Amino acid sequence: MEKGNNFLVGIYDDEDVLLEAVGKVKKSGVKIHECYTPFPVHGLDDAMGYHYSNLPIAGFLFGMTGTICALTMMIGMMGFDWPMDIGGRPYIPLPDFIPITFELTVLLCALGMTGTFFVVSDLKPWGTPRMFDPRSVDHKFVMAIDLAANKQDAASITSILKNSGATEVNKKSFE
C-alpha cells in the first residue's frame, strides 16, 4: 500500500476527548498522521509531540531576502546609478534607508511565510486540498491515521479509535 493515500478518520465531539485520545492512541502504538480542529486547542501541540516549527526559519530567510533587496536597490539607485544631492546629505544616507528596508523585510517575510504555509499545508492553488472530513471546520474534531504508516490492520485501529472516544470512524482514500 502506498503511503499517504489511505486513511482512517476518527471523529470526536469534544476537544478534551480528542486531547486524551491522542495520548491513548499514541500509547497503543498507532502513529497519528494529523489532527484537525475547528479552532486552536491548547495543549494539542504538546500531546502530538510537536516542539518546533520550521516556519520561522523560512520567515527569517524571506526577511533577509527583503533586507538585501531593499538595500541593494536603494544603494544602487541613489549611490551609483543616479546620485542626487538632497539637502546636503551623503549619497548613501543609511538612516533614510531604514524605513524602506524595514518595509520590504516585513513584506517579503510575511508574503513568503504565508506562501510557505499554503504550500506546506496543501492549500496551494495548483493542488487539491485534502479534506478528511468537512465537519472539521465546523464542530467536529478529527484525527487522521495513515494506514500505510502503521503495522496494525484497519480493524484493530478502528477499535482503538472507538475505545479512545471517537463517535465514528470512517475510511478516506485519496488518489
Partner 1 sequence: MNRDEKFIFTSGAKKKLFITLGIGVLLLAIGIFMLANQSAHHGEGHSHGSKETAHAVTADSSSEENAQTGHEQGAHANTIQEEGHADSAVSHSSNDTAGLHATGEQASMNSDSDTAVSHMTAHEEVSASKEATVNSSETHHTEHAGPAQGPAEQEVTGHEKAEHAGGGHHEVHWTTRLIKDLWLNNVFFAGIALIGVFFIAFNYVAWAGWSAGIKRIPEAFGAYLPIAAVLTIGLLLLFNHDLFHWTHHHLYEEFLADGKTKNPEYDTLLVGKHAYLNFPFFIIRTIVYFAIWISLWLTLRKFSKQEDITGDEKFHHKSVVWSAVFLVTFGVTESMAAWDWLMSTDPHFFSTMYGWYVFASWFVSGLALITLFVVILKENGYLSFINENHLHDLGKFNFAFSVFWTYVWFEQFLLIYYANIPEEVGYFVQRLKTDAYTPIFFLVLIVNFFFPFLALMTRNAKRQGVILKVVCTGIILGHWMDFYMMITPPILGQAGGLDLTFLFVEVGMTMIFASIFLFTILTALSKVGLVAKNHPMLGESEHHSVF
Binding flag, residue 89, partner 1 (CB under 8 A):
yes
Identified binder of partner 1 from the candidate list 1, 2, 39, 42, rule CB under 8 A: 42
Binding flag, residue 122, partner 1 (CB under 8 A):
no
Q: Kindly state the smallest distance separating residue 51's Cβ from partner 1, in Å.
A: 9
Q: Is 140 left (phi over 0), alpha (psi -120 to 50) or beta?
A: beta
Q: What string of DSSP letters covers the chain? A: --TTTEEEEEEES-HHHHHHHHHHHHHTTPPP-EEE-SS--TTHHHHHT----SHHHHHHHHHHHHHHHHHHHHIIIIIIIS----TT--SS-HHHHHHHHHHHHHHHHHHHHHHHHHHHTT--TTSPPP-S-GGGGTT-EEEEEEGGG-SS-HHHHHHHHHHTT-SEEEEEE--
Q: Kindly state the smallest distance separating residue 87's Cβ from partner 1, in Å.
A: 6
Q: Kindly state the smallest distance separating residue 153's Cβ from partner 1, in Å.
A: 35
Taking the least distance from each CB to partner 1, the nearer of 100 and 148 is: 100
Q: Kindly state the smallest distance separating residue 84's Cβ from partner 1, in Å.
A: 10
Taking the least distance from each CB to partner 1, the nearer of 29 and 56 is: 56
Binding flag, residue 49, partner 1 (CB under 8 A):
no
Binding flag, residue 129, partner 1 (CB under 8 A):
no
Residues that bind partner 1 (CB under 8 A): 40, 42-43, 45-46, 56, 83, 85, 87-91, 95-96, 98-99
